[in-house]
C-alpha cells in the first residue's frame, strides 16, 4: 500500500463530453449546409451578389467546422502538488521573464507590482531568478525595480508568513484581494490596525533587531513607493542619471548599448531569502531589425542561460500579477510527471483579468473562448502558446525533440562546432546550452549572475544572432508581430504536446484593455500577425504536412490563424444586404426557403446564449460579445488583414503597436462613470466601421422613402431587411458616436472619409441598378 502512492501521477487529464452542445453544433452545421445547397440548386435566382453570398457562406461553414473540431474534445488537468513535494527531494530551478517596452503605455509601477508578486512566490527563493526585459531602455523602469527591490525585503516575508493569496501590493491594499488566513486572530487584530501586518517580524531581514520609533505601516510604505515611482515617471521629481543610473545618460529608445544590472542577488543561496532580480535592456541600433517581443524573449533566454540556466522558464507580460502563489508547483506537476510530462513542452495558464469591466462591453475578456474553444484544444495536442502566463521547457525552446529527452540528442556527437553555428559565438553560452540540452543543471557553486555580466552583454547585442538559428529554428520565431503563435506551432511541429494549467484560484490576473481604442489596437495587431503566420512557412498547414502536428490539432489552429482572413468575407457579407436594398435585388430566399437563414440566425444565437448562461455569464455579457465579434471582425481584423497583405507583398512592413495598460484598483466596474463608454480616434479601423453604419442607414432610408428601382422581379425582402437592422444594432455605439462630443464622438475627419466611401458605394449600387 505504501508503494502505491509513489505510482500515482503528478497530474491527471480528464476528457468530458458536452452532448447537448454537440447536438446543437451539428444542427447549426446542417442548416449552413442546407443554405449552401439551396444556393447551388436554385439557379433561377443566380446573380453576382448571390454568388458572393455563396462564397462568404462557404467560408463561414468552414470556420464553423473548425470551431466544432476545436470544441469537441474538452479536457481539464488536475494537478497534485502534494505528491510532487513528497516524491521530489529537490525542486528544479525556474527562470521568470517579465517583458515591458514603453514606460508611458506600460507604467513602471505596473511592472514593479508584477515583479514583486513573482518574487514572493511560494517556491524556494534560491530556485528562482526574475529577469525583466526593458525594450524602452527607460531609467524610470530601472528606478521602479530598484525601489521595488527594497520594498521586497519587507513584502516577501509578510506574504509568506500570512499566506497572502494576491501578492501584488496594489491589489492587496485595494481591498479587492482576499487571503487564506482571514480566520487567524493575529491577522484580524493586525488587519484592523490599518493593515500593519507582520512589520516587526520583518526588520530582521533588513538588519534591525528592534522596532524603530514612528515606524510606517506596510501600506504607507507601499503608498510612498508608488508615489515616488509615479512622480519620477511623470518627471515631477528629477531623476539624477549618476551612479547606477549613469549608463542611461546618453541612451535613446532605439539607440543604446546592452544594459544588464543585477539588482538582487541571493549570494548565500538561501531558500528563504530573496530571489535574483536582473534588469536587461538589449542593445539597439537604428536601421537594425530588433524583431519586437520575440527578439526580447530570445535575449532573455540567452542571458538567463548564462546566469542561472534553469530547466524551466516562465514568461509573463508586465501586467500579469500572481493570483495563486503556489502555481509553480502546479506547473511542475505537469512538466515533471514521469509518464506524460516528458512529452510536454509548455504549460499554458489562461489569461483572466482583475479589472474587467462588468459585462465585457468591448468583448476582450475571452471567458467563453477559454471555456469552450481553448479548453477543447487542450484535449487535442494541447493549447496554443498565448504569449504570456506560460511555463516553457528550456531544451524545447532550444530545438530539442521529445524523443531526444530519453534517447539523447541526435547532433550530440557533432560537438561544439555545430552548437556555435546554432547558438552563436559565445563559448560560455554554448556551454550552458549544451548543459540544458542534455537535461543537466549548474551546480549551486557555479551560479553567480554577477560573474556573467560581460558574457551576458555580448549575447544581448543586436548582431549576436547573425548567422545563427535564433528566430528561425530555435527560440522565439521571427517574421510576425504575433510571435507567440508561430513559436508554439514550431514546438508542436516537432511533436511536443502542451497542457493547460487551471488550478483554483487562477494563477494570474492582468489588466484588460479598458477602452475601445486600445481594444481595437490589440485586435488589429493580433489579426495582422496571425495572417502573416497563416500564409507563412510556419502555418498550421505546413505543420500538418511536413511536421508532427496532428490533423485535428492543426485544424484547431485555423480558428486562431484565420482571424484576419475572416475580415474580407465578413465585410463583403455585411455590404451585400445594403447593396440588395439599394438595388432592390436579393441574396436570401423568398417563400419557404427563407426559413433556412432565419432558423440559422435564431438557433445560433440561442445556442451561444445558452453557452454563456451555462458558465454564469449574463445576457448582457452575451450580447456585448456577439456585437463586438461582428464589429471587431469587420473593422480591426479587416484592417489587420490588409496590413498583413501589404507586408507579405513587400510593399510595407507592419508596425508593432503596444496596448496601453492602466492600473485599476477599484473593482470590476472601475467605479468610473466612463467605464465601458466607447471612444474613437482617427484610425482607419473606425473609418471602416463608420462607413458600414452609414451605408446601412442610407439603404434603410432609401427603402422607407421608396427610392428603390421598381424593374426588378426579385426585389429585396425580409431577409435583407433583418440583416441590415441587425448590423445597425451591432454598430449602435458608432451611431451614438456620430452625435457624441470630444473623445466619445467620431472625429470629423473620420466622418468625412466615411461619407465619401459611403457615397461611392451608393453610387456604385445605383449605377449597377440602372445598367441592370
Q: Which is it for strands 390-393 and 312-317: parallel, antiparallel or unpaired?
A: antiparallel
Beta-strand runs (E) in 127-224: 128-134
Name the nearest CA neighbour of 389 among 310, 303, 438, 327: 327
Give the C-alpha distances (Å, rounded to integers) separating 551 from 353, 490, 515: 32, 15, 38
Tell me which H or E stretch contains 432.
helix 427-437
Phi and psi for 726 in degrees, rounded to 5? -60, -40
Give the C-alpha distances (Å, rounded to integers) separating 500 from 13, 15, 204, 393: 10, 13, 40, 14
Q: Of residues 25, 135, 317, 355, which has the active-site annotation? A: 135
Q: Assess contact for 461 and 283: CB atoms under 8 A.
A: yes
Q: Give one DSSP letter per residue of 687-742, joined into a string.
A: HHHHHHHHHHHHHHHHHHTT-S-S--SS---HHHHHHHHHHHHHTHHHHHHHH--G
CA separation for the pair 651, 639 (Å, rounded): 15
Q: Which residue has the cell 508554439?
A: 488
How far does Cα 89 stand from its chain's mean position?
35
Our answer to whether residue 484 is catalytic in this structure is yes
Region of 667 please: left (phi>0), alpha (psi -120 to 50) or beta: left
Our answer to whether residue 669 is catalytic in this structure is no
Q: Assess contact for 490 and 536: CB atoms under 8 A.
A: no
Which residues are paired to 77 by β-bridges? 13
Burial 488-522 (b: 16+ CB within 10 A, else e): bbbbbbbbbbbbbbbbeebbbbbbbbbbbbbbbbb
Q: Of residues 95, 355, 360, 484, which has the active-site annotation? A: 484
Cell of 325: 502563489
Name, in order, each residue with C-beta under 8 angstroms of 589's C-beta and a sequence gap of 6 or more: 38, 42, 45, 596, 597, 719
Name the nearest CA neighbour of 277 among 149, 189, 176: 149
Longest dimension (CA), the chain: 96
Q: Which residues are catalytic?
A: 135, 484
Amino acid at each position: 500500500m505504501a508503494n502505491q502512492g509513489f505510482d500515482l501521477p503528478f497530474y491527471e487529464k480528464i476528457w468530458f463530453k458536452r452532448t447537448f452542445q454537440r447536438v446543437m453544433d451539428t444542427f447549426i452545421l446542417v442548416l449552413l449546409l442546407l443554405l449552401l445547397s439551396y444556393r447551388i440548386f436554385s439557379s433561377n435566382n443566380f446573380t453576382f451578389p448571390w454568388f458572393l453570398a455563396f462564397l462568404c457562406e462557404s467560408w463561414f461553414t468552414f470556420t464553423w467546422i473548425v470551431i466544432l473540431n476545436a470544441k469537441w474534445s474538452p479536457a481539464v488537468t488536475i494537478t497534485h502538488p502534494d505528491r510532487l513535494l513528497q516524491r521530489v527531494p529537490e525542486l528544479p530551478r525556474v527562470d521568470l521573464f517579465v517583458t515591458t517596452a514603453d514606460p508611458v503605455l506600460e507604467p513602471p509601477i505596473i511592472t514593479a507590482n508584477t515583479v514583486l508578486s513573482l518574487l514572493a512566490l511560494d517556491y524556494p527563493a534560491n530556485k528562482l531568478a526574475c529577469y525583466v526585459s526593458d525594450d524602452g531602455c527607460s531609467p524610470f523602469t530601472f528606478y521602479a525595480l530598484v525601489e521595488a527591490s527594497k520594498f521586497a525585503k519587507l513584502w516577501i516575508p509578510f506574504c509568506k508568513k500570512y499566506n497572502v493569496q494576491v501578492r501584488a501590493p496594489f491589489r492587496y491594499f485595494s481591498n479587492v484581494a482576499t487571503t487564506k488566513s482571514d480566520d487567524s486572530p493575529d491577522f484580524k487584530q493586525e488587519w484592523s490596525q490599518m493593515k500593519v501586518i507582520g512589520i516587526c517580524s520583518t526588520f530582521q531581514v533588513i538588519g534591525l533587531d528592534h522596532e524603530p520609533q514612528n515606524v510606517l505601516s506596510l501600506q504607507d510604505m507601499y503608498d510612498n513607493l508608488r508615489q515616488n515611482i509615479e512622480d519620477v515617471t511623470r518627471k515631477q521629481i528629477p531623476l539624477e542619471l549618476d551612479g547606477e543610473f549613469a549608463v542611461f545618460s546618453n541612451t535613446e529608445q532605439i539607440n543604446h548599448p546592452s544594459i544588464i544590472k543585477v539588482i538582487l542577488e541571493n549570494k548565500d543561496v538561501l531558500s528563504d531569502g530573496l530571489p535574483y532580480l536582473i534588469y536587461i535592456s538589449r542593445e539597439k541600433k537604428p536601421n537594425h531589425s530588433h524583431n519586437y517581443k520575440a527578439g526580447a524573449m530570445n535575449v532573455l533566454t540567452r542571458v538567463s542561460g548564462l546566469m542561472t540556466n534553469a530547466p524551466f522558464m516562465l514568461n509573463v507580460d508586465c501586467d500579469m500579477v500572481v493570483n495563486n502563489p503556489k502555481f509553480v508547483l502546479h506547473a511542475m506537476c505537469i512538466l515533471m510527471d514521469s509518464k506524460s510530462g516528458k512529452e510536454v513542452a509548455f504549460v499554458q495558464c489562461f489569461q483572466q483579468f482583475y479589472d474587467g469591466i462588468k459585462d465585457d462591453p468591448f468583448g476582450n475578456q475571452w471567458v467563453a473562448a477559454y471555456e469552450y474553444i481553448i479548453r477543447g484544444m487542450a484535449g487535442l495536442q494541447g493549447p496554443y502558446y498565448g504569449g504570456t502566463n506560460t511555463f516553457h521547457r528550456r531544451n524545447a525552446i532550444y530545438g530539442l525533440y521529445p524523443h531526444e529527452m530519453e534517447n539523447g540528442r541526435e547532433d550530440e556527437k557533432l560537438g561544439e562546432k555545430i552548437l556555435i553555428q546554432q547558438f552563436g559565438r559565445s563559448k560560455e553560452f554554448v556551454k550552458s546550452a549544451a548543459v540544458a540540452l542534455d537535461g543537466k543543471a549548474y551546480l549551486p557553486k557555479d551560479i553567480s549572475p554577477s560573474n556573467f555580466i560581460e558574457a551576458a552583454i555580448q549575447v544581448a547585442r543586436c548582431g549576436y544572432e547573425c548567422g545563427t538559428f535564433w528566430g528561425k529554428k530555435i527560440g522565439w520565431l521571427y517574421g510576425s508581430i504575433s510571435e507567440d503563435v508561430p513559436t508554439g506551432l514550431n514546438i508542436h511541429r516537432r511533436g511536443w504536446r502542451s497542457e493547460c494549467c487551471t488550478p483554483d484560484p487562477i494563477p494570474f490576473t492582468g489588466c484588460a484593455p479598458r477602452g475601445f481604442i486600445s481594444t481595437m489596437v490589440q485586435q488589429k495587431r493580433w489579426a495582422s500577425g496571425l495572417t502573416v503566420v497563416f500564409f507563412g512557412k510556419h502555418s498550421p498547414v505546413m505543420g500538418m504536412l511536413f511536421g508532427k502536428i496532428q490533423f485535428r490539432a492543426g485544424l484547431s489552429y485555423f480558428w486562431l490563424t484565420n482571424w484576419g482572413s475572416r475580415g474580407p468575407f465578413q465585410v463583403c457579407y455585411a455590404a451585400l444586404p445594403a447593396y440588395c436594398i439599394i438595388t432592390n435585388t436579393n441574396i436570401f430566399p423568398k417563400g419557404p426557403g427563407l426559413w433556412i437563414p432565419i432558423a440559422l440566425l435564431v438557433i445560433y444565437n440561442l445556442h451561444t446564449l445558452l453557452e454563456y448562461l451555462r458558465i454564469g455569464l449574463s445576457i448582457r455579457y452575451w450580447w456585448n460579445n456577439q456585437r463586438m465579434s461582428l464589429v471587431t471582425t469587420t473593422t480591426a481584423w479587416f484592417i489587420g488583414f490588409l496590413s498583413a497583405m501589404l507586408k507579405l507583398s513587400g510593399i510595407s512592413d507592419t508596425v508593432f503597436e503596444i496596448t496601453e495598460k492602466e492600473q485599476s484598483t477599484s473593482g470590476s466596474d472601475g467605479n468610473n462613470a466612463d467605464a465601458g463608454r466607447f471612444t474613437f480616434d482617427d484610425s482607419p479601423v473606425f473609418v471602416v466601421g463608420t462607413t458600414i453604419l452609414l451605408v446601412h442607414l442610407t439603404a434603410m432610408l432609401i427603402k422607407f422613402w421608396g427610392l428603390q428601382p421598381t424593374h426588378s422581379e426579385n426585389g429585396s425582402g425580409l431577409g435583407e431587411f433583418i440583416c441590415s437592422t441587425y448590423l445597425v444594432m451591432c454598430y449602435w455605439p458608432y451611431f451614438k458616436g456620430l452625435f457624441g462630443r470630444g473623445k466619445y464622438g467620431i472625429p470629423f475627419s473620420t466622418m468625412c472619409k466615411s461619407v465619401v466611401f459611403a457615397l461611392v458605394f451608393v453610387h456604385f449600387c445605383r449605377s449597377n441598378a440602372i445598367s441592370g
